[in-house]
């Protein structure tokens, strides 16, 4: 921001570097700690950041393998972590697919068509996406519990139910996709229309291929949303074999059974891919959030 | 052209399938005693058929899938929550009135007839032999039968016999009878006059009859002494003449009772007020703290004289990118009073171990600290975007006027950023107001208040309080939880409307 650098600025730059490094050191401390804990033998704290002795036992357990401890006893994985990860992926893929398919055409209509009630509906969607699903937890539980009496695969403890319950993100997705459609010039579709294409053909063959990036981003965001969701899953899933990772990982840290090291390895195993995916896609999410305020 | 028709046919096929699936649901709803849903389904399907066939509704063909999803997955659960808040739905009143009546009608009491059982094995089948205690009374025997493999009751017909056992059969010894217990429980032996006998003890079968009979007005009459149980739609119980409630209760509408309890019954009113105050304080403090840290970092990272900004930005962003379900338990472990690394360090330096999870104020500070850690990168990213939009000329002008960075910050950056960020701050407030994940994973609401009758804790937010009421301790009171949720709905709705106004003002300018 300042155009001319004075001498005092050099000190300021240095101070900023030092301040930032200290701040980053403090905020990243938990991550360094958790890596150290995952490589340390045993499940109890104590010891420095760099472990005195080194052990891969927690990693073996996290990957579903057993190992023999110093007395020769086999230690088995405490929880089916890989199964939980697979459950999470399954639920998130279903919900991301369903919510993307449901929001694409609506976003198209909101971006390109005129119809009665458009403004009201758009505002309504903007309002509704602010309501978190945690407020409707009781209703979600009661509904699926009752549906389950008649359709067992859509009751409590079913991955289908959970995936459907996650579909509420549609309101936000419609806004994100609409914002992108708005930024794509209309001329190409118009040309297609002149050549005799129906609005639907113009949408499928002209606009959609151009909008592929936002579709990927929305899909990934919906997927991540499903992977990290806690409250709804904790209400709908109870069977240990059915849990998603987000609710299963809670079972590691009870006072009676404190599996600190096993948790650390699991956390890193699951955390790294999710973190990377999020780092790559977050730019679009943030630009979608600030779009209304910045661009004007 | 062929491609076009294929796609159109495929979509038409999906439409027809959806229509058929919808139609198939109608009888299911009807059977489930939900005529309103069945009717609603028909109306919805009718509208859908009109939209997808009429040229006038063309645009709505595209709008419907998304809007319908929003209605089904957001609006309907909200409305349903509101609906539940006016009932007494809880673990004591779980069943509908029909189901509760059925449960009572299935209650059996012992009748007069009872007989001794001898079980005989004939080949791989079994035969029952019953003898009476009274001398001279007839004995009964059954045809050879196999025990049922499922869980359904099996009726076995008996005939009178004069023999003292079963010819050609081998009597089953007592120890083997034990093993056959589960199967014997499934047998209903039917006497020639139609009386049904069921196992009452290991070697005895007794007549059992329904305890109640249903009257036309919905009340139940005891078959033994004729006492009457009347359903009370206000309390949700069947009650006897003295007003004593009989389990199980049923769901019924209780009007504003749950709201009334929240606002006037001291048992609920007092923790509600405390939790409400903390929720507001938590959400505001958190929004302020993350915004303060975020904007300072954003200003630094937008400073062109600073090197390695990309690397700093990435590392500063990391806490937000790591899924909360992982980082919150990590903090829970690090803050653990006896085993955690944070207390190990504090103990080393200051010689004390703060009780992060049992002291209310420390617990609240910890919750704030952790959530600020989780949330500042988001604010930082938002502020960075907004600061970039501030024209450079403003800073150049102020540099000419000799202003320092602090003056710049307070007279240019902050005022210009406040308006566009206001809706996002409100959204952040609303998000933290309902941050169930943080509380559920970090403290579960604890430490609990010692002076309240309903379980509630110092770090409970309104949502985690409703979560506890509905799914954990204190009798799973879904209705009360829904009432509190509905109140929070109102608060969030107010915030959302204010937000929409601000958002529009920003757009217009």
Contact check, Cβ <8 Å, B507/A292 = yes
Give pLDDT, residue A1.
Answer: 46
CB–CB of B270/B263 below 8 Å? no
The phi and psi torsions of A219 (rounded to 5 degrees) equal: -60, -45
Contact check, Cβ <8 Å, B503/A293 = yes
How far is residue B365 from each of residues A123, A278, B294, B335, measured CA to CA in Å?
37, 28, 19, 12
Place of tokens 């046919």: B9
How many Å lie between the alpha carbon of B124 and the closest alpha carbon of chain A? 36
CB–CB of A108/A203 below 8 Å? yes
Start-to-end CA distance of chain B, whole Å, equals 47
What are the pLDDT digits (tens) for B255-285?
898 999 888 888 888 889 999 999 999 999 9
Domain that holds residue B69: 2-84
Give pLDDT, residue A291.
Answer: 47
CATH code at position B152? 2.40.430.10
Q: Which two tokens stand for residue A34?
A: 């958790």
B230 burial level (CB within 10 Å; 0-12, 13-18, 19+): middle
Give pLDDT, residue A286.
Answer: 61
Question: Do B225 and B358 belong to one domain?
Answer: no
Contact check, Cβ <8 Å, A127/B78 = no
Give pLDDT, residue B435.
Answer: 94
- Give how many domains chain B has, as a whole number: 4
Specify the 3-state DSSP secondary structure of B130: strand
Question: Do B411 and B473 belong to one domain?
Answer: yes
Contact residues on chain B for A137, CB-CB shorter than 8 A: 466-467, 470-471, 485
**Strand spans (E) along chain A:** 67-68, 74-75
Specify the 3-state DSSP secondary structure of B160: strand
Question: Do B497 and B473 belong to one domain?
Answer: yes
Whether pLDDT at A71 is above 60: yes
Domain assignment present for B91: no
Q: How far is it, in rounded angstroms, from Cα B219 to Cα B354?
A: 60
Q: Dihedral of CA B290/B293/B299/B301: which sign? A: negative
Nearest by CB: A128 against B64, B75, B315: B75
Whether pLDDT at A119 is above 70: yes
User: How many CB atoms sit inside 10 A of residue B269's CB?
Assistant: 13
pLDDT average, residue stretch B318-344: 87
Selected residues 67-126 of chain A with any CB under 8 Å from a CB in chain B: 99, 101-103, 105-110, 113-115, 121, 123-126
Specify whether the backbone of B236 is left (phi greater than 0), alpha (psi in -120 to 50) or beta. left
pLDDT average, residue stretch B107-127: 81
Best residue of B2, B3, B67, B82 to probe chain A, by most A CBs closer than 10 Å: B67
Q: Which of B210, B226, B256 is the last residue of a domain?
A: B210
Domain assignment present for B253: no
For B60, how many CA atoms within 13 A lie in the half-sphere containing its CB?
15
Question: Do B471 and B492 belong to one domain?
Answer: yes
What are the pLDDT digits (tens) for B215-270?
888 888 887 777 888 888 888 888 888 888 887 888 888 889 899 988 888 888 88
Domain assignment present for B462: yes
Give pLDDT, residue B473.
Answer: 67
Give pLDDT, residue A260.
Answer: 83
Say which residues have a Cβ less than 8 Å from residue B272's Cβ, sequence separation at least 6.
B262, B263, B465, B484
Whether pLDDT at A47 is above 60: no
How many Å lie between the alpha carbon of A94 and the closest alpha carbon of chain B? 15
Whether pLDDT at B200 is above 90: no
What are the pLDDT digits (tens) for B145-176?
888 777 677 888 888 887 777 777 788 888 88
Size of interface A-B (CB pairs under 8 A): 296
Contact check, Cβ <8 Å, A106/B62 = yes
For A160, how many CA atoms within 13 A lie in the half-sphere containing its CB?
9
Mean pLDDT for chain A overall: 84
- ipTM for this model: 0.87
Q: Is A127 on the interface with B (CB under 8 A)?
A: yes
CB–CB of A267/A34 below 8 Å? yes
Whether pLDDT at A51 is above 80: no
Each as own residue / partner, the long-range contacts of residues B42-48 (CB below 8 Å, 24 or more positions apart, any chain) are B45/B19, B48/B19, B48/B22
Does A67 or B360 have the greater pLDDT score?
A: B360
* Residues B17, B19, B20: CA angle, nearest 5 degrees: 65
Say which residues have a Cβ less than 8 Å from residue B23's Cβ, sequence separation at least 6.
B45
Instruction: With cut-offs at 50, 70 and 90, classify the pLDDT of residue A236.
Output: very high
Question: Do B336 and B231 belong to one domain?
Answer: no
Question: Do B175 and B272 belong to one domain?
Answer: no
Give pLDDT, residue B442.
Answer: 92
Question: Do B341 and B425 belong to one domain?
Answer: yes
What pTM does this model have? 0.82
The phi and psi torsions of B385 (rounded to 5 degrees) equal: -60, -45
How is domain A81-294 classified at the CATH fold level?
A: MetI-like fold (1.10.3720)
Say which residues have a Cβ less than 8 Å from residue B141's Cβ, sequence separation at least 6.
B127, B128, B129, B130, B158, B159, B161, B163, B166
Contact residues on chain B for A140, CB-CB shorter than 8 A: 77
Where do the domains of chain A lie? 7-75, 81-294
CB–CB of B224/B109 below 8 Å? yes
What are the pLDDT digits (tens) for A161-216?
999 999 888 988 998 899 889 888 888 888 988 888 888 888 988 899 888 888 88
Selected residues 227-246 of chain A with any CB under 8 Å from a CB in chain B: 227-228, 230-231, 234-235, 245-246
Give pLDDT, residue B153.
Answer: 75
CB–CB of B443/B427 below 8 Å? no
Contact check, Cβ <8 Å, B66/A123 = no
3-state secondary structure B23-86: HHHHHHHHHCCCHHHHHHHHHHHHHHHHHHHCHHHHHHHHHHHHHHHHHHHHHHHHHHHHHHCC
How many Å lie between the alpha carbon of B292 and the closest alpha carbon of chain A? 14
Domain assignment present for B142: yes
Instruction: With cut-offs at 50, 70 and 90, classify the pLDDT of residue B462.
Output: very high
Whether pLDDT at B71 is above 70: yes
Place of tokens 């809880």: B90
Domain assignment present for B90: no
Question: Do B198 and B274 belong to one domain?
Answer: no
Question: Do B201 and B143 belong to one domain?
Answer: yes
Question: Do B364 and B493 belong to one domain?
Answer: yes
Q: Is A284 on the interface with B (CB under 8 A)?
A: no
Question: Do B226 and B319 belong to one domain?
Answer: no
Q: Is A12 on the interface with B (CB under 8 A)?
A: yes
Whether pLDDT at A253 is above 90: no
Question: Do B193 and B329 belong to one domain?
Answer: no
């Amino acid at each position: 921001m300042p155009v001319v650098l004075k001498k005092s600025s050099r000190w300021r730059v240095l101070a900023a570097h030092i301040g930032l490094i200290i701040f980053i050191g403090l905020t990243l401390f938990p991550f360094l700690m958790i890596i150290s804990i995952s490589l340390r033998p045993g499940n109890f704290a104590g010891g420095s950041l760099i472990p005195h002795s080194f052990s891969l036992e927690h990693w073996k357990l996290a990957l579903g393998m057993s190992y023999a401890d110093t007395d020769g006893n086999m230690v088995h994985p405490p929880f089916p972590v890989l199964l939980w990860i697979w459950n999470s992926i399954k639920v998130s893929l279903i919900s991301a697919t369903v919510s993307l398919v449901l929001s694409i055409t609506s976003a198209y209509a909101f971006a390109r068509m005129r119809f009665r009630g458009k403004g009201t509906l758009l505002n309504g969607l903007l309002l509704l996406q602010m309501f978190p699903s945690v407020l409707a937890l009781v209703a979600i539980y009661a509904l699926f519990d009752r549906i389950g009496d008649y359709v067992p695969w859509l009751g409590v403890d079913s991955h289908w139910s959970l995936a459907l319950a996650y579909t509420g993100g549609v309101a936000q997705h419609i806004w994100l996709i609409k914002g992108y459609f708005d930024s794509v010039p209309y001329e190409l579709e118009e040309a297609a229309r002149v050549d005799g294409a129906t609005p639907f053909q113009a949408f499928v063959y002209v606009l959609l291929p151009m909008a592929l990036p936002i579709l990927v981003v929305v899909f990934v965001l919906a997927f991540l949303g499903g992977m990290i969701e806690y409250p709804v899953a904790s209400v709908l899933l109870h069977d240990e074999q059915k849990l998603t990772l987000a609710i299963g990982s809670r079972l590691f840290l009870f006072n009676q059974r404190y599996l600190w090291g096993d948790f650390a390895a699991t956390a890193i195993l699951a955390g790294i891919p999710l973190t990377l995916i999020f780092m790559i896609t977050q730019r679009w999410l943030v630009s979608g959030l600030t779009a209304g305020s910045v661009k004007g | 052209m062929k491609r076009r028709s294929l796609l159109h046919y495929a979509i038409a096929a999906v439409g027809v399938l959806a229509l058929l699936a919808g139609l198939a649901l109608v009888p299911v709803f009807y059977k489930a005693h939900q005529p309103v849903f069945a009717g609603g389904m028909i109306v919805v399907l009718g509208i859908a058929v009109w939209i997808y066939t009429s040229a006038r509704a063309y645009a709505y063909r595209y709008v419907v899938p998304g809007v319908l999803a929003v209605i089904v997955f957001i609006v309907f659960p909200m409305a349903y929550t509101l609906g539940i808040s006016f009932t007494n739905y809880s673990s004591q009143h779980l069943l509908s009135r029909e189901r509760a009546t059925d449960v009572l009608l299935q209650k059996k009491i012992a009748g007069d007839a009872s007989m001794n059982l001898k079980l005989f094995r004939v080949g791989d089948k079994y035969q029952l032999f019953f003898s009476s205690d009274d001398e001279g009374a007839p004995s009964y025997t059954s045809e050879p039968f196999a025990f049922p493999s499922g869980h359904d009751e099996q009726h076995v017909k008996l005939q009178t016999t004069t023999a003292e056992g079963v010819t050609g059969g081998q009597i089953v010894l007592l120890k083997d009878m034990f093993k056959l217990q589960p199967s014997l429980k499934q047998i209903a032996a039917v006497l020639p006059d139609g009386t049904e006998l069921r196992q009452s003890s290991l070697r005895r079968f007794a007549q059992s009859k329904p305890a109640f009979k249903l009257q036309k007005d919905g009340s139940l009459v005891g078959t033994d002494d004729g006492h009457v149980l009347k359903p009370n739609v206000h309390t949700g119980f069947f009650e006897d003449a003295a007003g004593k409630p009989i389990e199980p209760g049923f769901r019924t509408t209780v009007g504003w009772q749950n709201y009334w309890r929240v606002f006037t019954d001291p048992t609920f009113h007092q923790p509600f007020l405390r939790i409400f105050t903390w929720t507001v304080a938590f959400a505001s403090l958190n929004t302020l703290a993350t915004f303060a840290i975020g904007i300072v970092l954003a200003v630094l990272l937008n400073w062109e004289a600073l090197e390695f900004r990309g690397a700093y930005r990435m590392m500063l962003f990391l806490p937000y990118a790591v899924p909360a379900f992982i980082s919150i338990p990590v903090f829970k472990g690090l803050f653990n009073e006896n085993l955690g690394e944070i207390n190990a360090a504090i103990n080393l330096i200051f010689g004390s171990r703060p009780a992060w999870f049992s002291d209310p104020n420390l617990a609240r500070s910890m919750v704030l600290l952790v959530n600020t850690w989780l949330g500042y990168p988001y604010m930082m990213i938002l502020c960075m975007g907004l600061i970039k939009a501030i024209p450079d000329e403003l800073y150049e002008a102020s540099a000419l006027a000799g202003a320092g960075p602090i003056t710049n910050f307070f007279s240019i950056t902050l005022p210009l950023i406040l308006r566009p960020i206001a809706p996002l701050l409100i959204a952040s407030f609303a998000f933290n107001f309902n941050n169930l994940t943080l509380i559920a994973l970090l403290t579960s609401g604890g430490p609990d208040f010692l002076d309240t009758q309903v379980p509630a804790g110092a770090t409970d937010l309104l949502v985690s309080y409703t979560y506890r009421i509905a799914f954990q301790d204190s009798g799973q009171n879904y209705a009360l939880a829904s009432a509190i949720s509905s109140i929070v709905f109102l608060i969030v709705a107010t915030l959302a409307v204010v937000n929409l106004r601000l958002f529009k003002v920003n757009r217009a300018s």
